[in-house]
Amino acid sequence: MRFDEIKTTNEAYSYFFDCQMATVDRYTLLSKPPVGEFSRHISIAQKMLDKALEFDIDLSGTRFDLLTKPFSVKEYVLKLRPKFKSN
């Protein structure tokens, strides 16, 4: 979904969650990501995910589809970057 296609609050939240997860994905690709920043973005994405699940926001079609239960962003990162250590 593109920003100009957003029509509802649910779509906006889904879009911004996906943007946050894209940032997390980008950090997984860096050879030496700044650990503090990387951890902060993981935490933000997790908080967004927790609220989306709490409020029953449909995140299908986003990077949420790549997560597995119990829906942990950090576990997702560890699959992509097994040696990641947060601060």
Tell whether the model's pLDDT for residue 86 goes beyond 70.
no
What pTM was estimated for this model as a whole? 0.85
Instruction: Choose among 17, 12, 1: nearest CA to 53.
Output: 17
| Spatial separation of the C-alpha atoms in residues 74 and 50, rounded to whole Å | 13
Q: CA angle at residue 52 from 84 to 18, to 5 degrees?
A: 55
- The 10s digit of each residue's pLDDT in 18-63 is 899 999 999 999 989 999 999 999 999 999 999 988 998 888 877 7
CB atoms closer than 10 angstroms to residue 20? 21
- The predicted pLDDT at position 37 comes to 95
